Amino acid sequence: MHGPPVDYREIAPSVVQITMQDQEHKNTFSDQLITGLQDAFAKVAADERCKAVVLTGYGNYFASGGTKESLLLIQERRISFTDADIYGLALDCPVPVIAAMQGHGIGGGFAMGMFADFVILSQESIYTTNFMKYGFTPGMGATLILPRKLGMSLAGEMLLSAKTYYGHELKERGVPFPVLPRADVLHHALELAGTLAEKPRVSLVTLKSHLVSELRAELPRYIEREVAMHEKTFHQPEVRALITSHYTGG
């Protein structure tokens, strides 16, 4: 691993870049990555100078979802995905968050990016909500945020089929986000962050709170329903077999 799993950097006095760079685990949700993300967003919330956050990954990876070990622990009823609330970090952040998804967004990693206020995808990267590949129903708030951001038709297809899509394929399907060459994603995000930083912070915080108020109110109910679905689906013996034999992570 090169450097800390999560790098926190002030790009400008009012702009923070949070980079997930856990190369050892290919940005799966390792304990180190989770703790790093929680600490980084806590710093943002405490920094009254910050007006915008750019959340990105390294190389070919944005975020790769749960580790094999954590999925098996959920299957054994030893933990729940709700034990570490990283899915709501961007939504709960007081200032706008830009998900510069320059690399692959897989499972919960894709869902986490969708909770950002702005999303930028890469033409060359793959995006998937692959929960059902392993036989269990989606978590991480995916059943709420995907229909809201992508529309019911595409979201339903992604969630039910667990298919993998290249960014350029999603662009052809009409996703309402910029889909750019990988090399351009972060630059575009930083330009957007600079535009946001020109506004008064109080106005940004007030408007974001208004725009996401319904999502913030609805998310706990959706998480409760996703946990209930997990009780029905996650603990099947075939799910354990599928995780054991088919898990590819990042």
Per-residue pLDDT tens over the stretch 64-81: 999 999 999 999 989 888
The strands making up 61-63's β-sheet, listed across from edge to edge, are 61-63, 104-106, 126-128, 164-166
Give the domain ranges of the chain.
6-182
CA 72, CA 243: separation in Å to the nearest integer? 7
Write the pLDDT tens digit of every residue in 44-64. Answer: 999 999 999 999 999 999 999
Number of Cβ atoms within 10 Å of the Cβ of 40: 24
pLDDT value, residue 200 = 98
Question: Which of 104, 230, 235, 246 is an active site residue?
Answer: 230
Q: 227: part of which helix (H) or strand (E)?
A: helix 213-233
177 close to 169: Cβ distance less than 8 angstroms: no
CATH fold, domain 6-182, is: 2-enoyl-CoA Hydratase; Chain A, domain 1 (3.90.226)
Write the pLDDT tens digit of every residue in 86-133. Answer: 999 999 999 999 999 999 999 999 999 999 999 999 999 999 999 999
Catalytic residue check, 168: no
- Look at the alpha carbons of 120, 124, 125, 128 in this order and tell me if their dihedral is positive or negative: positive
**Residue 95 neighbours by CB under 8 Å, 6+ apart:** 44, 50, 51, 52, 53, 201, 204, 205, 208
| pLDDT band, residue 13 (cuts 50/70/90) | confident
pTM of the prediction?
0.96
Q: Which amino acid is at 42?
A: A
**Residue 208 neighbours by CB under 8 Å, 6+ apart:** 94, 95, 96, 117
